[in-house]
Structure 1
Amino acid sequence: MKSIRILLICLIVFPFIGVSQILKNIDEVTPFHEELAAVRKGDKWAFINTKGDIVIDYREDLVKSKTKNKTTSYPYFSDGRCLITQKINGIVYYGYMDITGEIVIKPEYLNATNFDNGHAIVLKVSKEELGRNDLLDKKVVSYSYDEIVIDHLGAQKTFLIGPVHLVYKKDRLRKPPMIQSYFLSPNLVASKSKDSGWQLYTLNSSN
């Protein structure tokens, strides 16, 4: 009888030892990438570690990216970088944050891929002043973009395609321009242009 009382006391004092609810009311939970997994509440995403602790709080600037199996899309880390966006004057720009949530490559690209073996492919905008319209008293400006490879700090490594003429208005950039290149291997990129078809580039080469 005494042993039964001790057992009941233990059950009251230590209920369900080893089982606890960490997060609740989550709309979506994704697989782990580099020991971090994205979780969603409404339109905001956060990242948790393998213990279930939120290490990057909920935010709206994370980019849903296709995974390698191309069947699902959600924010994830690759090479310690995760895609983010920022809208400036109605136009969306892409950049990257690190595993602490700090922006390490500022959003300045019209489109960008996830990092793969230390490199990513981005579309970088260029602006050229052609002259001045005296009648309207304003500068005549032309915009274009180049498709380039950058390293994990944002430094340009290889030029791929460009310049591609750009109508630099928010109503014409509701969707980002398509990236025409992809990594064949850690040091080899395939690019397709309208004029010259497919080209192969090795990283760090002169093009």
Structure 2
Amino acid sequence: MKNSRKLWGLIVLMFTTALSAQTIGNIDEIAPFSEGLAAVRQGEQWGFINDQGTLVIDFRDDIYWNKNADLSKEDVAAVKYPVFNEGLCMIVKKVEDGVPVFGFINTKGETVIEPQFLNIYPFENGVTTGVLFDKTFRGENEFKLKIYDYKFFDVMVNTQGEITDYFEKRDHIQMTVKRYKMPDIGAKILNKGLVAIHKQDKGWEIRKLDTKN
């Protein structure tokens, strides 16, 4: 009986050791570590490992990256590798006729900010600015085709996904992939409580924000 218990204990130990010695193969690309996690790519999917080499976010196809990133930019166009910034990593989904909208997951792989931005800057000190895409169903026409109302705003958003400030309403954004051009962000955080707002045909305006909260 004792021998059988020893054998069973040995089997459990070997099984536990095998699980802890996780090996991840077929990796095509490894991004630099950021906030304790590094993105690893298999084909068109990315996952994340921790500093022990354990896969903590499984491979998925909605993690955003751009192999032709423009590093002279500061917005979405500059994202060459998936990275975590202030606990968030950018994801993307396609809407309408293939137009990309962007949101964020946390370090557990949970979506904390739903994809709803046409362009957005990296978070800094808990907030950032971006171009918000809003689509509202209005009904059907006489041909039973669905009609939607589209609205676009420059906004400020925090890391919880709360829109804290609405700035300028944006017009003339075509939501079909053949005519779509990613809009520049018309709001820039200059300092805590200070933001620059671009007003059409009037240039930039410096605005103080209410920072009581």
Query: TM-score if structure 2 supplies the norm length?
Result: 0.70
Matched, 1:200 2:206: yes
Q: Which residue of 2 aligns with 1:64?
A: 65
- Report the alpha carbon displacement of residue 122 of structure 1 after superposing the two structures with TM: 2.2
1:76 aligns with 2:77: no
Tell whether the 8 Å contact from 2:40 to 2:48 is kept in structure 1 after alignment: yes
Question: Structure 1 stretches of 5 or more lacking a match?
Answer: 1-19
- Once the 2 structures are TM-superposed, how far is the Cα of residue 73 of structure 1 from its aligned partner? 1.9
Q: CA deviation at 1:189?
A: 2.6
Matched, 1:125 2:133: yes
Partner SS for 2:100: strand
Matches within 5 A, 1:1-207: 22-64=23-65, 73-89=80-96, 90-126=98-134, 143-173=150-180, 175-204=181-210
Contact 1:144 1:165 in 2 (8 A): no
Report deviation, 1:26: 2.2
Task: Evaluate the alpha carbon distance shift between residue 21 and residue 131 of structure 1 in structure 2; reply closer, same or farther with a 3 A threshold.
Answer: closer
158-167 or 80-89: bigger deviation: 158-167
Root-mean-square deviation (Å): 3.4
Q: What secondary structure sits across from 1:73 in the alignment? A: coil
TM-score by length of 1: 0.72
1: CA distance, partners of 2:147 / 2:42: 45
Aligned counterparts of 2:79 and 2:99: Cα–Cα separation in 1: 26
Partner AA of 1:25 in structure 2: N
Distance 2:61 2:122 in 1: 18
> Post-superposition shift, 1:36?
0.9
| Cα distance change of structure 1 residues 105 and 140 upon mapping to structure 2, 3 Å threshold | closer
**Structure 2 CA distance for partners of 1:204 and 1:59, relative to 1, 3 Å:** farther
CA distance in 1, matches of 2:37, 2:138: 47
Which protein is richer in strand relative to its size?
Answer: 1
Deviation of the 1:22 alpha carbon: 4.1
Give the 3-state SS of the residue equivalent to 2:178 in structure 1.
helix
Maintained 8 Å contact 1:157/1:203: no
Please say if residues 143 and 166 of structure 1, whose CA atoms lie closer than 8 Å, have aligned partners that are also in contact: no
Deviations 1:20-64 (A, max 9, x none): 894443222222111111112221111111111111111111122
**In the superposition, relative to structure 1, how do residues 154 and 68 fare at CA in structure 2: closer, same or farther (>3 Å)?**
farther
- Larger radius of gyration, structure 1 or 2? 1
* Counterpart for residue 17 of structure 1: none
